[in-house]
Amino acid sequence: MGESARPFAHLGAENAATYRAVLRMFADARDRYVLPLRPEDVVEDLAVVGSPVAVDVVENALTSLVGWGNLRADPDTGRVTTVEDFHRSRLLYQLTPEGQAAERAVRLYEETVGRRGALQAVALEDVAEHLRSLVVLLAATGPPDAARTQHLLTALTQRLETLADNAAAFMSSMQRSIDLQDADADAFVAYKDRLIDYLERFLSDLTTTGAEISGLVLRAEDLGVHAAVQAVAEREAADLAPGDDDETREREREQVRHGWEQRWRGMHTWFVGSRENPSQKDVLRRRGRSAIPQLLRAVNVLNERRSGRSDRSADFRRLAVWFAEAPEDATRHRLWHTAFGLSASRHLSIDGDSLTAQAAGAPRIVPWAEAEPLRISPQFRRTGHHERRGRPARVQDRSAQRRHLAELAAREQERLQVAQTELVGGGPRRVRDLPQLSSTAFSVFLGLLGHAIAARRPDALQAPCEATSADGSLRVRLTPLPGADVVPLRTEDGVLHLPDALVEIIGTDPGVRAP
Amino acid sequence: MSTDLSGRLAADRQHERRRAARALLLRPLLRPTGRDADTFVLVRRHADWLRRWFDLNTGWRLRVEPELARLEKVAVDGDDATRPLLDAQRRPYSRRRYVLLCLALAVLSRSEAQTTLGALADEVLLQFSDPALVAAGIEFRLDHVEERRDLVAVVRTLLDLGALSRVSGDEDAYLRSVGDVLYDVDRHVLASLLTTPRGPSTVTAATAAARIDALTAVPPPLSEDARARAVRHRLTRRLLDDPVLLLTDLDADELAYFTSQRRALTDRVEELTGLVAEVRAEGVAMVDPADELTDLRMPEDGTDGHVALLVAEFLTAHAPAAVSVDDLRREVHRLAGRHRTDWRKGSDEPGQEITLVATALDRLTALRLVLVDRGSVTALPPLHRYALRTPTPLEGS
C-alpha cells in the first residue's frame, strides 16, 4: 500500500453508506471489465440498482475517495456534446490497486461478519430483555397473563433461532477464512484486525449477557415457566381450527404442547449447560476463542509467505508441477532427493576378515587395484548364496514363551506386592507378635533380616541397625532385645525359631502401603 | 575400579550415540512409535551432542521434538539420480506417483486432523485441474484400477513416513472399491518433509536443472572462515552420505582441504558412526563393518546380488578398458545358462539379460563403482574391491 493511502478511511466517515455504494459500483464494473467510469456513469448505475444519489454528492464522494487512495482520477479526453460539459473538470475514475485490495477485504468482511453469520450481540441483548420481562411476569401474583406470555415466548424463541442459525453460519464461514485461499490473502490480512476486534467484543458480550441469561432461564424455571408454557400451548391449541372430533383435537393439542416444551428445552440447553453437556453458549464461546489464535496463525502463514518463506501447501503444489514437467525419470529422482532429503546414507561394507587383512597390509596408501580385494566366499562366487541352499531354517516363533515369561513376571510382581503389605506398617513389632507369614512374605522377611544383620557394625552387635532391601522398595529397622527368648515365627513353609527382637518394616515406594 | 567404570560408561555413551547417528543417517525422519521407537529414545537422549556434531561438521540441522526427530539432510549437489523414492515393493516412483505424492501432501497440509482415502482421492482429483499440470499433459481421473493402485502406493509411502496413520479399514478394500480407510494426519511430519533452504513456491526458474540448483543454492560465504567451513561441510556430507569419495570428484578448494585435513575429517566421521575409512590413492570409502548403514548391499545374496558381483569381476578383469553394455549382456546371458539352478527361474531366457544387466549397472552406479556412458561401462577404482583374489600359496582355501 502507498504511504498516504488510507483505503479503509471511508468506512469510518460520514456518509459511509454512499461511499460503500459507490465503491461497490466500481468493483462490479471492474468485474465486467469496465475499467474507468465517469461520474455520470456512477450516478446512472446507482439509480439502476435503486439507490439514487445526486450528481454533486457523487462528485464529492469521488473526490474524497481519490484523496484516500481508493480511486485514481485521470483527465477525460473523450468528446463532449455540450458547452457546460466542456467547462467542467472532466475526469475518469478507476480503482487503484489499494482500493481494489480494500474492496476485496471489505467484501470478505461483509460476507463473514456483515450479512451472513453475524454474531449479533444485539440478539443476545434482546433475548435477555425478553427473559427479564418474562421473569417479571411470572413473579407477579396470580396466574400469568397467557396472551403476554405467549407473545414473549414467541419473540424469545424467534430471537434464539436467528441467533443459533447465525452462530452456525458464522462458525462455518470462520472455518473457511481460516482455510483461506491464496486469492484472498491480502484481503484477509487487511480485515483480520476488524474481525478479531469484532470477535473479542462478541465474546465478552457472550460472557456477560450469556451469564445473565442463564441465570434468568433458571429463575424462570423456578417461577413455574413450565406451567406458563403449558398454558400458552393450551391457548394456541384452542385457536386451532376445531377438529372433527375430540381425539384429533387432543392429538393436535398434544403436538402444540410438545412443540413449546421443545422450544423451552432448546432455550435451556443453549444457555444452561451441565457437566456432561456444555451449553451451546459455551461451545460457541470456546469456538470463538479458538478461532482467534487460528486466525492469527493463518495471518502468520501469510506474513511468512510475504517475507519469502513459503506456504507449505503451495510448495507441494509447485513441486507436483515440477515433477510433471521434468524431462525424464532421472531428473525426477534428483528432484526427490534434493527437495525432501529423506534418502538413506549409502556405504560399502567390509567383513571382519578383510578388515584384519587390510589392517595388516602395507602402511602406505595404494590404489584400490593394488590393495587386497574383499574376501568373498568361493561358495558365494559360485552360487550367489552364502548358505548352502535348501530349506531355510524356520524362524522360531517364541511369542508363546515370551507371553508365558511375562505372565510369570507379572504374577511374581503381584505376589511381592501382597507379601509387602503383610510386612509393612504397624510400627515396630516384636517378632513373636508377627502374624503367620505367607511363603513369599517369609522369603522377603528373611532377605531383609539378612541385610539388617549384615549391616550391623561389628563393634556394636546389640545396637539397632537399618538396611534396605535389594530392590530398594523396603527399609527394615532391627533392634535386638538383649536377653530375649527364642521365639517361633510361623510361616506357610514351617516354623523358624529366632531370638526375639523389635522389627519395623517401612515401604519406601508409595505403591506399597500398609494394609 | 572407578576408572574402569567411567571407561565403561564412556564406551556405552559412544555406542548409544553411534546407534542414534546411524538411525538418523539411514532414516532422516524418526518417530517415537513403531519401528524407530528404540533408536528414537537414544536420539532424544543424545540430541544436544548430535545436534552440535551435525551443525559443526555438516551444517545439517537436527530437529528433535517429542513428536519426531528430523535430520535435515541437504544434498551435496542436485546431481544424484541414484536415490529415487521407492515404493513398498522397492520399485522407483514413476512420474504419476511423484505428482500424486506432492498433491496429496498439498491437500493434507490443509486438511483436518483426520481424513479418509476417499476424501483424499477426491481432493487430489481436484488438484489435477491446475492449468500447469494440464499443460504438462498429466491426467488423473481415478477411473482405472492402475490409477487407484498408484494412489494407494502413495498413501503407503505416507504411512511409512508417518504423515498418515491408519485408524481403521485397509487400502486393499479401497482398491476393490468395497470400502474406505480412515487416517489420522500428522502435521508435525508434514511440516518437516521439505528440507530445502528455499521454498519451491518461491522459485521461478523454468528448467528442471535450474530449479534444482535454486533449491540447493546457499548464499556465498563472506569470510575465509565461512568458506573453509562450507568446504568442510560439503566434504563431511559426502563422507557421511555417499559410498565413495573420489579425488576426481572434488573441486580445487575441496581437494586442497581434503588433502591436508583428510585424517581429521575421516576420524570425526568414524567417531560418530563407527564407519571405517578405507583410504586409497584415488580417494576414500567409509566402509561399514556392520553392513547395515546402507540402502544397497554388495555383495548381496540372491540373483541380482550375484549378477552384480559377476559383472564387477568381468569389468575388473578388463579394466582399465571400458566394456560395452552389449558385451556385458552377452556375458550375463552365458552366465545365466551356467547358473540356471542358482538364479531366478527364467533368467536364462533370451532378453532377460537386458533387465539383469540394467539392474546390476544401476546398483554399481549407485554405489559409485562404475560409470555408464552411452553404452559403455568404465570401472571406477573402488570396483577392484570385488576383483577375484588370487589365493596366495600360504593360505589354505
For chain B, the domains span 2-72, 95-193, 227-287, 302-386
> Which one of B203, B240, B389 has the shortest CB-CB distance to A373?
B389
Q: Are residues A253 and A149 in the same domain?
A: yes
Q: Are residues A125 and A176 in the same domain?
A: yes
Total tally of structural domains belonging to chain A: 3
C-beta atoms of B309 and A365 within 8 A: no
**For residue range A36-83, what is the model confidence (pLDDT) as tens digits?**
777 877 888 777 777 777 888 888 888 888 888 888 888 776 666 666
C-beta atoms of B202 and A321 within 8 A: no
pLDDT band at A117 (very low <50, low <70, confident <90, very high): very low
> Mapping DSSP to helix (H, G, I), strand (E, B) and coil, where does residue A513 land?
coil
Query: Is A335 an 8 Å CB contact of chain B?
Result: yes
What's residue B47's pLDDT?
Answer: 94
CB-based burial label for A86 (10 Å; 0-12, 13-18, 19+): exposed
Closest CA to B96 of B51, B141, B41: B141
Grid cell of B9 as nine digits: 560408561
For A32-36, A358-362, A388-392, which range has the lowest pLDDT when averaged over its residues? A388-392
For A346, nearest residue in chain B (alpha carbons) = B294
The residue among A65, A99, A114 that closes a domain is A114
> Is the distance from CB of A309 to CB of B199 less than 8 angstroms?
yes
C-beta atoms of A334 and B133 within 8 A: no
Mean pLDDT in residue range B209-236: 88
**Which residue(s) pair with A478 in the sheet?**
A465, A503
The residue among A96, A114, A132 that closes a domain is A114
> Is the distance from CB of B232 to CB of B260 less than 8 angstroms?
no
Domain extent for A74: 9-114
Grid cell of A258 as nine digits: 410438545
Query: Is A178 an 8 Å CB contact of chain B?
Result: no
Residue A186 lies in a domain: yes
How many percent of chain B have pLDDT more than 70?
Answer: 97
pLDDT band at A111 (very low <50, low <70, confident <90, very high): low
C-beta atoms of A312 and B190 within 8 A: yes
pLDDT band at B269 (very low <50, low <70, confident <90, very high): very high
**For residue range B371-383, what is the model confidence (pLDDT) as tens digits?**
999 899 999 999 9
What's residue A145's pLDDT?
Answer: 77
Chain A positions in Cβ-Cβ contact with residue B278 (cut-off 8 Å): 348, 350, 358
C-beta atoms of A337 and B208 within 8 A: no
Chain B positions in Cβ-Cβ contact with residue A365 (cut-off 8 Å): 279-281
Residue A370 lies in a domain: no
- Nearest C-alpha of chain A: how many angstroms from B190? 9
Grid cell of B387 as nine digits: 576383483
Mean pLDDT in residue range A94-119: 71
C-beta atoms of A337 and B83 within 8 A: yes
Q: Which residue shows C-alpha cell 464522494?
A: A61
**Which residue(s) pair with B323 in the sheet?**
B377
Query: Is A388 an 8 Å CB contact of chain B?
Result: no
Alpha-helix residue ranges (DSSP H) falling in A91-224: 97-109, 121-139, 146-178, 185-222
For A348, nearest residue in chain B (alpha carbons) = B287
C-beta atoms of A336 and B98 within 8 A: yes
- Nearest C-alpha of chain A: how many angstroms from B266? 14
**For residue range A304-346, what is the model confidence (pLDDT) as tens digits?**
555 444 578 888 999 999 999 999 999 999 999 999 999 999 9
Q: Are residues A222 and A89 in the same domain?
A: no
> Which one of A325, A330, A342 has the shortest CB-CB distance to B81?
A330
Q: Count residue pairs from A and B with Cβ separation < 8 A.
A: 280
Omega before B32 cis (within 30°)? no
C-beta atoms of B102 and A316 within 8 A: yes
pLDDT band at B298 (very low <50, low <70, confident <90, very high): confident
**For residue range A151-206, what is the model confidence (pLDDT) as tens digits?**
888 888 887 777 777 666 666 666 665 555 444 556 666 666 666 777 777 778 77
Number of CB atoms found within 10 A of residue B256's CB? 12
Chain B positions in Cβ-Cβ contact with residue A326 (cut-off 8 Å): 95, 208
pLDDT band at A393 (very low <50, low <70, confident <90, very high): very low
C-beta atoms of A380 and B309 within 8 A: yes
Query: Is A290 an 8 Å CB contact of chain B?
Result: no
What's residue A332's pLDDT?
Answer: 95
For A107-111, A380-384, B266-270, B370-374, which range has the lowest pLDDT when averaged over its residues? A107-111
What's residue A170's pLDDT?
Answer: 66
Residue A148 lies in a domain: yes
Chain B positions in Cβ-Cβ contact with residue A302 (cut-off 8 Å): none
Is the pLDDT score of B249 beyond 60? yes
Q: How far apart are the first and last CA of chain A?
A: 76
Mean pLDDT in residue range B344-353: 88
Q: Are residues A130 and A96 in the same domain?
A: no
Grid cell of B358 as nine digits: 540394467
C-alpha to C-alpha distance for B277 and B145, rounded to whole angstroms: 49
C-alpha to C-alpha distance for B328 and B309, rounded to whole angstroms: 13
Mean pLDDT in residue range B322-351: 90
For A67-81, A317-331, B64-78, B173-187, which range has the lowest pLDDT when averaged over its residues? A67-81
Is the pLDDT score of B78 beyond 80? no
Interface test with B, best of A319, A353, A376 (most B CBs within 10 A): A319
**What is the four-CA torsion angle of A349, A352, A355, A360, rounded to 10 degrees?**
-170
Q: Are residues A50 and A183 in the same domain?
A: no
> Which one of A331, A352, A365 has the shortest CB-CB distance to B280?
A365
C-beta atoms of B208 and A335 within 8 A: yes
Query: Could you tell me the CA-to-CA distances from B25 to A44, A200, A347, A391, B150 in Å, in that order?
Result: 71, 48, 11, 35, 28
Q: Are residues A61 and A125 in the same domain?
A: no
Kind plus residue range of the DSSP H or E element containing A378 = helix A378-383
CATH topology of domain B95-193: Arc Repressor Mutant, subunit A (1.10.10)
Query: Is A181 an 8 Å CB contact of chain B?
Result: no
What's residue A420's pLDDT?
Answer: 74
**What is the four-CA torsion angle of A83, A84, A87, A89, rounded to 10 degrees?**
-130
Query: Is A371 an 8 Å CB contact of chain B?
Result: yes
How many percent of chain B have pLDDT more than 90?
Answer: 54
Query: Could you tell me the CA-to-CA distances from B83 to A227, A496, B343, B382 in Å, in that order?
Result: 78, 73, 26, 20
CATH, domain B302-386, list 2.40.340.10, 1.10.490.10, 1.10.10.10, 1.10.8.80:
1.10.10.10
C-beta atoms of B287 and A371 within 8 A: no
Residue A484 is given by DSSP the state: P
Per-residue exposure over A151-187, b if at least 16 CB sit within 10 Å of its own CB, e if not: ebbebbbebbeebeebbebbbebbeebeebeeebbbb
For B194, nearest residue in chain A (alpha carbons) = A340
- Nearest C-alpha of chain B: how many angstroms from A342? 6
**For residue range A402-411, what is the model confidence (pLDDT) as tens digits?**
777 778 777 7
C-beta atoms of A349 and B287 within 8 A: yes
Omega before B320 cis (within 30°)? yes
**For residue range A440-486, what is the model confidence (pLDDT) as tens digits?**
788 888 888 888 877 777 777 777 888 877 667 778 888 888 777 88
Query: Is A308 an 8 Å CB contact of chain B?
Result: yes
Q: Are residues A136 and A263 in the same domain?
A: yes
For A323, nearest residue in chain B (alpha carbons) = B99
Instruction: Name which residue leads in pLDDT, B367 or B390.
Output: B367
Instruction: Name which residue leads in pLDDT, A292 or A259.
Output: A259
Residue A321 lies in a domain: no
What's residue A78's pLDDT?
Answer: 65
Mean pLDDT in residue range A278-306: 67
C-beta atoms of A348 and B319 within 8 A: no
The residue among A114, A129, A156 that closes a domain is A114
Q: Are residues A105 and A126 in the same domain?
A: no
Q: Are residues A432 and A465 in the same domain?
A: yes
> Which one of A179, A310, A368 has the shortest CB-CB distance to B381?
A368
Q: Which residue shows C-alpha cell 411470572?
A: A138
C-alpha to C-alpha distance for A479 and A430, rounded to whole angstroms: 9
- Nearest C-alpha of chain A: how many angstroms from B41? 20
Per-residue exposure over A402-430, b if at least 16 CB sit within 10 Å of its own CB, e if not: eeeeeeeeeeeeebbeebbebbbbeeebe
Fold match flag (B95-193 vs B302-386): yes
Chain A positions in Cβ-Cβ contact with residue B195 (cut-off 8 Å): 339-341
* Mean of the per-residue pLDDT values of chain A: 76
C-alpha to C-alpha distance for B62 and B57, rounded to whole angstroms: 12
C-alpha to C-alpha distance for A339 and A346, rounded to whole angstroms: 18
Q: Which residue shows C-alpha cell 519395623?
A: A504
C-beta atoms of B208 and A310 within 8 A: no
Tell me the Cα Rg of chain B: 24
Q: Are residues A134 and A277 in the same domain?
A: yes
Query: Could you tell me the CA-to-CA distances from A366 to A363, B280, B319 in Å, in that order?
Result: 9, 5, 17
pLDDT band at B293 (very low <50, low <70, confident <90, very high): very high
Question: What count of Cα atoms within 13 Å lies in the side-chain half-sphere of residue B110?
Answer: 26
What's residue B380's pLDDT?
Answer: 94
Closest CA to A134 of A160, A161, A164, A155: A155
Interface test with A, best of B36, B61, B62, B83 (most A CBs within 10 A): B83
For A55-59, A117-121, B176-180, B204-208, which range has the lowest pLDDT when averaged over its residues? A117-121
- Nearest C-alpha of chain A: how many angstroms from B10? 24
pLDDT band at A397 (very low <50, low <70, confident <90, very high): low
Q: Are residues A128 and A232 in the same domain?
A: yes
Model confidence, pTM: 0.57
